[in-house]
Amino acid sequence: MSQTVSGIDKVCFVGAGTMGCYNALAAAVCGYSVVLYDPSESSLAAIPQRQREMANMLVGAGWCSEEDVEAAAGRTVVTCDLGEACKGADLVNESVFEDLKLKRQVHAELDAICDAETLLTTNSSALLVSDIEVAVTRCDRFAALHSHYASPLVDIVPGRSTRPELVALLEAYVRSLRGVPLVMKKEHPGYVLNAMLGNVLGTALAMLVGKQFSVPAIDASWLEAQQALMGPFGLIDLFGLGVLRDAWGHRDRMDALQPFKHQIVELLEQKLAAGKLGMHSGEGFYTYPEPAYGSQDFASHADDRCARLLQAALMAQAIRLVAGEVVSVEQVDLAWSVGMHAPRGPFALIAELGKVQVLSQLQESGLQGLLSAKEVTQASSWLTAHVNDNGELN
């Protein structure tokens, strides 16, 4: 069992969905007293089975023992009484549906009923800290604490007036969960990992609906170029096609991928209507439990040009995060390596390819309509100013 952090004993998780159950289990395994709240009796009734499946995964991965899981059950309470759940809590982490009105309503209620010293956090993956913190008065004790399912990476985003010592406390808390904290300098849609991965998945979908490459070609190219465990469409199946459909349904950005929105949403809705929901339904872009990307000859579909375009999507977004002073170069590579279980991050890839090759790939992506002229110019300008010809930072 990990050593708990001084200043945090009781942790309350609001929302017993996937992330609420997962984060509550991790905290309890690591020695914290946990309360898991949900207003739905059916959601509460489903917690034991959901956490049992999660525990099997964690034990199988060697993250904890069966004895740890049994001890965690004794430290966990579930309730539909929010006031009782928050009583005496040092830290509250909210994981309700990604609806701004609901999030604000929940945090306003938490702000009113929690002790004055309780630290409020949101696990929102789609909304920004600034979107939610307007609902609370304790802005100095509010932050985003965003975890990634089955990954040790945890994003920490302070609000406009979050006290520095509380950010440090959240870092220590994440480490006590055997996690890897990533403290961002400022908020950004999709945080760091999801911002980069979202650009890669969006580019893959755009190339598919634009009839540039097939699903096998895109995934095989990514697997070979990135030494990855799964390609873009394998990942979409893992996340669920509904998640991507919802994200693209609300997408409104001034970038090269936005014009593909209608075709991408239409493709995803067609598959969903046919019952092809992703891995958990047995079929998405692949058929499970034996997807084509697991076959020995799958690599034969790889295409060098496709790999270059996907890499350009990753590197362009990585540069955008650093140029925008959201995070450092080291944090970008950390987020990608830890979050994707990848052997290297985007800037390590840039160093490997060299500046001239990276500039060429960005230009190629621009010509294919996958990066806008503005995106290409901004990324190229940053590279020219900060990276030498060998791909090393100046």
Domain boundaries, the chain: 10-183, 191-393
The C-alpha atoms of residue 382 and residue 389 are separated, in whole angstroms, by 13
Position 1 scores a pLDDT of: 52
What pLDDT score was predicted for residue 243? 87
Note the pLDDT of residue 280: 87
What value does the CA radius of gyration of the chain take, rounded to a whole number of Å?
A: 22
pLDDT of residue 3: 87
Flag residues of the chain having pLDDT under 70: 1-2
Angle between helices 355-367 and 304-323 (to 10 degrees): 100
Residues 202, 157, 385: CA angle, nearest 5 degrees: 65
Q: Does domain 10-183 have CATH number 2.40.160.20?
A: no
Phi, psi of 33, deg, nearest 5: -80, 125
Indicate the SS3 state at residue 99. Answer: coil
CATH topology for 191-393 is N-(1-d-carboxylethyl)-l-norvaline Dehydrogenase; domain 2 (1.10.1040)
Q: Buried b vs exposed e over 188-225: b needs ≥16 C-beta within 10 Å?
A: bebbbbbbbbbbbbbbbbbbbbeebbebbbbbbbbbbb
| Single pTM value for the model | 0.92
